[in-house]
Amino acid sequence: MIILTDNVDFSLRYFNNLDLKKIKLNELPYEILSISKHFFQKENLYQADTNDDFWNLCIMVNEAEKSQYDLLVDLMGSNDINKYKIICLTGISKSLHGFRNRKWVSEQGNLHLSAFLKPNVKIENVSGVFLAYAAVSTLQAIKKSADYKSQPKIKWVNDIFFGNAKVSGVLAPTFDF
């Protein structure tokens, strides 16, 4: 997996022992540049390679000008993106939103994750099932991350709560290509 970031400290919070090398955005191979230029506002970036067997590209932006989710949705029609499995992480942003474009407040210390996957098989009637699967997967990941005093729960269909506090929302659009 190729990791691209605009902030070394932000990346090292989530990936230990990365060998990040300073690069210029325009030095990236064309296919990766055509995707990455939409996410980064800076010319100077850092790149590392890992031995991840699933994801191809990880885009990490500490302070995102635009919603990475929206950028991925906009890029879905592009041939450049269709061969990659992409994960995007951002620390804070002024332009995040939830289901039905409800404003999502992004605070320092939070993690906002967007992912793009294109299965190699046709899946019938996937939209509702995929949203539920994404919410359950998020819940399981939270439960495995630490031993909490209370257990997180799903408020059907896409919100994760600890008690009365919402800690996560899941958006999972599906498209036919």
Burial (Cβ within 10 Å: 0-12, 13-18, ≥19) of residue 63 = middle
More confident site: 121 or 162: 162
d(CA 159, CA 136): 10
**pLDDT at residue number 176:** 65
What kind and span of H or E run contains 30? helix 30-36
b/e for 90-117, b at 16 or more Cβ within 10 A? bbbbeebebeeeeebebeeeeebebbbe
Q: By C-alpha distance, which of 112, 91, 5, 87 is closest to 48? A: 5
Using one digit for the tens of pLDDT, what is the confidence trace for 16-47? 889 999 999 999 999 899 999 999 988 999 99
Burial (Cβ within 10 Å: 0-12, 13-18, ≥19) of residue 128 = exposed
**pLDDT at residue number 177:** 59
**pLDDT at residue number 125:** 66
